[in-house]
Structure 1
Amino acid sequence: MLTRDRTRGADSLSVITSVDRDGRLADRLPMRVMAWFPGAPISFSVDPGPVAIVQPGGDGRINSRGYLRLPLRIRRRCKVEVGSRVLVVPNKERAEVLVLPMWVLDDLLITFRSSTSTKRGPT
Structure 2
Amino acid sequence: MHELAITQDIVDTVCDHAAGRQVCHVTVEIGELTAVVPEAVRFCFGPATVGTVAQDASLELVGVPGVARCRVCGAEFAVADPVLLCVCGSVDADLLSGREIRIRSMEVSRECARPADAATIQPA
* Normalised TM-score (structure 2): 0.27
TM-score, normalised by the number of residues in structure 1: 0.27
Which structure has more RCO (C-alpha within 8 Å, separation ≥ 6)? 2
Q: Report which of the two has the higher share of strand.
A: 2
Rg: which structure is higher? 2
